[in-house]
Amino acid sequence: MSTLTLPDPARDHISGSADGPVRLLEYGDYECPACGAAQPIVKEIQRRLGDDLCFAFRHFPLTRIHPHSEHAAEAAEAASAQGDFWIMHHALFENQKALEDADLAMYAAELGLDGARLIREVTSSAYALRIREDIRSGLRGGVNGTPTFFIDGARYDGAIDLEHLVSALAIRA
């Protein structure tokens, strides 16, 4: 079983309580259909566990099969620089089939972000180092596809459905 560093509130994008007793970390790709299918499951887990859950997301764009995934990750980071990582995160997963740069700018504008700034940062790869750090940490932890989940630092290799993930989280709680 692979392990890796637990979510770090000083670095990672965290939803929920950073001090929650259960930590769920996802390595994901915004263009990956399986990651998109996992998002409603993650949202339900977050709803059920509330402040007991520390959920973190790290980028793992699979650019060979998802050509828009890197710019989507850059857009999420650019939104984070404007204070809205999670709202862009959800918008990207909700619009997986429309991730061209013009789409990213439109989502930014719809979300009240500075779309011109966001696209400048995306096209200049302003957050490439951050994304590479996520990828490297994933590779060190044995990530080879998306989505990949870790519970309290241990890789979860079970079914990615609500029943199995909740059960695995409960064992760790």
pLDDT in tens, 112-121: 999 999 999 9
Q: How far apart are alpha carbons 56 and 149 in whole angstroms?
A: 10
Q: Does residue 33 have a pLDDT over 90?
A: yes
**pTM of the predicted model, to two decimals?**
0.94
Beta bridge partners of 16: 54
The pLDDT of residue 10: 82
Range list of H helices, the chain: 33-49, 69-81, 85-94, 101-110, 115-123, 128-140, 162-172
> What pLDDT does 135 receive?
97
- Which residues, in sequence order, are CB contacts of 9 under 8 Å at separation 6+? 18
Q: Does 130 score more than 70 pLDDT?
A: yes
Q: 59: which strand partners?
A: 28
Domains in the chain: boundaries: 13-172
Mean pLDDT computed over every residue of the chain: 94
- The predicted pLDDT at position 7 comes to 82
Q: Which superfamily, per CATH, for 13-172?
A: Glutaredoxin (3.40.30.10)
In total, the chain counts a number of residues equal to 173
- The answer to whether residue 137 scores a pLDDT higher than 90 is yes
Contact status, residue 42 vs residue 26, Cβ threshold 8 Å: yes
- DSSP secondary structure letters along 30-58: TT-HHHHHHHHHHHHHHHHHGGGEEEEEE
On the question of pLDDT at 57 being above 80, the answer is: yes
> Minimal CA–CA distance to 83: which of 42, 120, 117, 44?
117
